[in-house]
Structure 1
Amino acid sequence: MNQEHLVIQARKGDDQAFYDLMIANKEKLYRMAYSYFYNEDDALEAVQEVTYRAFKQLKKLKEPAFFSTWLVRILINYCHDEIKRKGKVLSYEAFESKEHLEEDHAEKLDLKNKIQTLRTEYQHVIILRYFHDLAVPEIARVLGKPEGTIKTWQHQALKELKVSWEDGEDTCYAK
């Protein structure tokens, strides 16, 4: 059964159709949530909350073809709200106690920290584009912005990351 048909069935009250939709999207949602929280428990909680919110608001979905995009938008909003609410910021100190922090992990951690210093909009674009391989048109649908805006945000974010990386080269883990 295709996704659109499942959405239509779920909107009519078919719980199994909704379950099938969520199973089909759970891995994608988990990976995205993990890329925001870097924590398995928080990522799982995000998927659970998104499932609940989607179930409660399914009748508000205007276009069944965009169910996955709609789910991602709910997830991003949830992640953004939770990060703001908890004041979660990934810091090097959180990982400093790990005895065998390899250089590769340190570079990844540094990149994640640099991404978190970007404006929220830029963070979303970078995460969706480079961590989840979404194309610009799909990111535009998810964020509800024009494609030109997404391209501009992507360009600005990359520019800021490059400057940040170059400025911190002596303190980063680059050789």
Structure 2
Amino acid sequence: MTDWAAKARRGDDSAFAELAHACKEKLYRIAFAYLRNEADALEAVQETVCRAYQKIRKLKEPEHVLTWITRILLNYCADEVKRRSRSGIAPADYAAAAWDHPSDPDLQAAVRGLDPKYRQIVILMYFEGYTLTEIASLLDLPSGTVKTRLHKALQELRRHLGEGEDAHG
């Protein structure tokens, strides 16, 4: 991916197309987890790719292209969620747009019930495989803040799922 990013930065459109193709599945999963329906997730990925294409020459470190493009997606999704809440548009019906990562329906409900700032860290870490350092970079937060939010998220999940603190301590 780094080679494609470096070439795309120099104006190689076919390298950018390869880069976008390599990222699209991961971007879609993240967008779907946020927006909870296929059409909105696809639109988010398309908008992210367009924004990345427009700004690819500003990418400072090609080796961090996945982090950079994921941050663009996260910002788009956050803006979209805010726009919907301001305009009174309800989130997608959970039954119609089942989140496919955790197969346990109780876990799905628990993750969906988390505060968005906690949910995004859980999704990025446990369902997308990002490290705490990568998440801190993606969200432009100190790693200590990410660790604290993850700890609080896990406490909420345990509480929601009916497990006491001593079950994992």
Q: State the TM-score, normalizing by the size of structure 1.
A: 0.78
Spell out, residue by residue over 1:63-90, the C-alpha distance to the aligned partner (whole angstroms, 9 max, x if none).
1110000111111111111112123435
CA separation in 2, counterparts of 1:68 and 1:26? 10
Alignment partner of 1:89 is 2:91 = yes
CA distance 1:45–1:90, shift in 2 (3 Å): closer
Q: State the TM-score, normalizing by the size of structure 2.
A: 0.80
| Superposition deviation, residue 5 in structure 1 | 2.4
Spell out, residue by residue over 1:13-52, the C-alpha distance to the aligned partner (whole angstroms, 9 max, x if none).
1110100100111111111111112211111111100000
- The equivalent residue for 1:49 is 47
CA separation in 2, counterparts of 1:27 and 1:54? 16
- Aligned-residue sequence identity (percent) comes to 44
Spell out, residue by residue over 1:129-160, the C-alpha distance to the aligned partner (whole angstroms, 9 max, x if none).
11112121221221122222211110011112
Question: Which is greater in Rg?
Answer: 1
- The equivalent residue for 1:14 is 12
CA separation in 2, counterparts of 1:116 and 1:79? 15
Q: 1:71 aligns with which of 61, 69, 82?
A: 69
CA separation in 2, counterparts of 1:95 and 1:132? 22
CA separation in 1, counterparts of 2:159 and 2:91? 21
| Superposition deviation, residue 62 in structure 1 | 1.6
CA distance 1:113–1:165, shift in 2 (3 Å): same
CA separation in 2, counterparts of 1:31 and 1:95? 17
Q: Work out whether residues 118 and 149 of structure 2, in 8 Å CA contact, stay in contact via their aligned partners in 1.
A: yes
CA separation in 2, counterparts of 1:95 and 1:21? 33
| Greater alpha carbon shift after TM alignment, 3-12 vs 13-22 | 3-12
Q: Work out whether residues 37 and 92 of structure 2, in 8 Å CA contact, stay in contact via their aligned partners in 1.
A: no
Unaligned runs of 5+ in 1: 97-103, 168-175
Q: 1:115 aligns with which of 91, 111, 114?
A: 111
- The equivalent residue for 2:150 is 154
